[in-house]
């Protein structure tokens, strides 16, 4: 993994693991972030199947939101293989002048979409 990709993974990891009950494991060879005893909310994608992409893959509310994000900022967001048909969106982590606060917001939104009610009612993030 390139030094740039390693830095991106560490930043994404810090954002994801700061969320309540967040954990990390490998899923299909990628670092994946999930809520304890729950669902995945983010993945780190780097050169998967030989592509040249470093990104975070996060859940959206559905295909409409995914499409809107990609249409508004096609240099930042994209429809990732495998995950895209389910409404997930990719965020290029190798984009120049990447705003990590925005990445953090999208990761938190994805977490909220899969978080159990007890975590949301407890104040979530």
Q: CA-based angle 112:33:86, to the nearest 5?
A: 65
Q: Is the pTM of this model over 0.75?
A: yes
Q: What are phi and psi of 3, to 5 degrees?
A: -60, -35
| Predicted pLDDT at 121 | 75
Task: Give me the CATH number covering residue 115.
Answer: 3.90.1150.30
Please write the tens of the pLDDT for every residue from 10-32: 999 999 999 999 999 999 889 99
Residue from 42, 31, 48, 22 nearest 103 by CA: 42
What domain range is 10 assigned to? 3-121
| Predicted pLDDT at 125 | 55
The answer to whether the beta carbons of residues 37 and 56 sit under 8 Å apart is: no
| Predicted pLDDT at 29 | 85
Please write the tens of the pLDDT for every residue from 37-77: 889 999 999 877 777 889 999 999 999 999 999 999 999 99
Q: Give 46's strand partners.
A: 54
Instruction: For residues 46 and 42, give the distance between their C-alpha atoms in angstroms, rounded to a whole number.
Output: 13
Our count of domains for the chain comes to: 1
């Amino acid at each position: 993994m390139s030094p740039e990709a390693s830095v991106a993974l560490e930043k994404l990891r810090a954002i994801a693991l700061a969320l309540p009950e967040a954990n990390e494991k490998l899923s299909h060879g990628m670092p994946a972030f999930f809520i304890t005893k729950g669902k995945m909310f983010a993945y780190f994608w780097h050169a998967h199947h030989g592509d040249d992409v470093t990104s975070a893959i996060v859940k959206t509310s559905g295909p409409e939101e995914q499409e809107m994000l990609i249409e508004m900022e096609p240099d930042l967001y994209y429809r990732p293989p495998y995950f895209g048909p389910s409404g997930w969106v990719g965020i290029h982590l190798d984009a120049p002048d990447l705003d990590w606060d925005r990445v953090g917001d999208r990761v938190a939104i994805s977490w909220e979409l899969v978080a159990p009610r007890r975590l949301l009612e407890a104040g979530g993030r």
